[in-house]
């Protein structure tokens, strides 16, 4: 064997393979870091969504516990804890979308929930689309309300808005602005 005639091709191939393997490892680390960031962003967004939903549910509970829903105010800086983090949630003033008077024929006198509606009747009669007067409305109305909560978290960059409708029966004194 003549060692002087070897050109070192094995060394060149080994170095090329080492460079290729190094590039593969660097790419794998970069993709892993990118996936970690994506997962963190998805988690932050999900936590922000949960915080907004919790704020909506808290506002709905306040609305139900309040005799006059139209007096429930906006809460621009409600702090809600979700996923071990505190989020600042902006809850808009609940908005009444529509009102529907309830007539006596729609109520059940044996249902305890309907009894307060019989106590005082609204003096105005309902006018149908044919311009005819109907029966006198009761002291209750069906109303549809919208509650909206938004999170704009500067720390994680998560932004989300939750809008939820609430259908409820209220007394005649609750106005739909």
Average pLDDT over residues 62-70: 85
Question: Which tens digits make up the pLDDT trace of 93-150?
Answer: 999 998 888 877 777 878 877 777 776 544 555 565 666 655 666 778 888 999 999 9
Helix (H, G, I), strand (E, B) or coil at 20: helix
The residue among 38, 49, 58 whose CA lies nearest residue 85 is: 49
Residue 155 DSSP one-character state: T
The whole-number pLDDT of residue 123 equals 53
The whole-number pLDDT of residue 157 equals 84
Distance CA(171)–CA(158), nearest Å, equals 39
**Encoded tokens for 153:** 């978290």
Average pLDDT over residues 66-77: 86
Distance CA(157)–CA(89), nearest Å, equals 14
Which residues, at least 6 apart from 42, have a Cβ–Cβ distance to it below 8 Å? Answer: none
The residue among 107, 138, 141 whose CA lies nearest residue 124 is: 138
Average pLDDT over residues 48-68: 90
Average pLDDT over residues 83-99: 89
pLDDT at 151 over 90: yes
Average pLDDT over residues 163-168: 91
Distance CA(82)–CA(50), nearest Å, equals 7
The whole-number pLDDT of residue 93 equals 93
Question: Which tens digits make up the pLDDT trace of 17-33?
Answer: 999 999 999 999 999 99
Name the one residue in this structure whose structure tokens are 């702090």: 79
So where are the chain's domains?
9-171
Buried b (16+ CB within 10 A) or exposed e, 66-97: eeebbebeebeebebebeebebbbbbbebebe
């Amino acid at each position: 064997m003549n060692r002087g005639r070897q050109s070192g091709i094995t060394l060149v191939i080994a170095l090329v393979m080492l460079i290729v393997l190094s590039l593969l490892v660097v790419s794998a680390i970069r993709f892993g870091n990118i996936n970690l960031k994506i997962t963190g962003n998805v988690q932050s967004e999900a936590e922000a969504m949960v915080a907004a939903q919790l704020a909506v549910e808290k506002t709905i509970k306040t609305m139900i516990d309040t005799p006059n829903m139209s007096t429930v105010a906006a809460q621009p800086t409600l702090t809600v804890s979700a996923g071990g983090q505190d989020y600042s949630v902006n809850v808009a003033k609940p908005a009444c979308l529509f009102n529907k008077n309830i007539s006596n024929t729609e109520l059940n006198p044996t249902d305890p929930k309907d009894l307060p509606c019989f106590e005082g009747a609204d003096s105005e009669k309902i006018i149908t689309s044919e311009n005819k007067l109907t029966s006198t409305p009761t002291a209750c109305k069906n109303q549809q309300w919208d509650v909206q909560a938004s999170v704009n978290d500067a720390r994680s960059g998560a932004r989300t808005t939750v809008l939820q409708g609430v259908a409820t029966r209220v007394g005649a004194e609750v106005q739909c602005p």
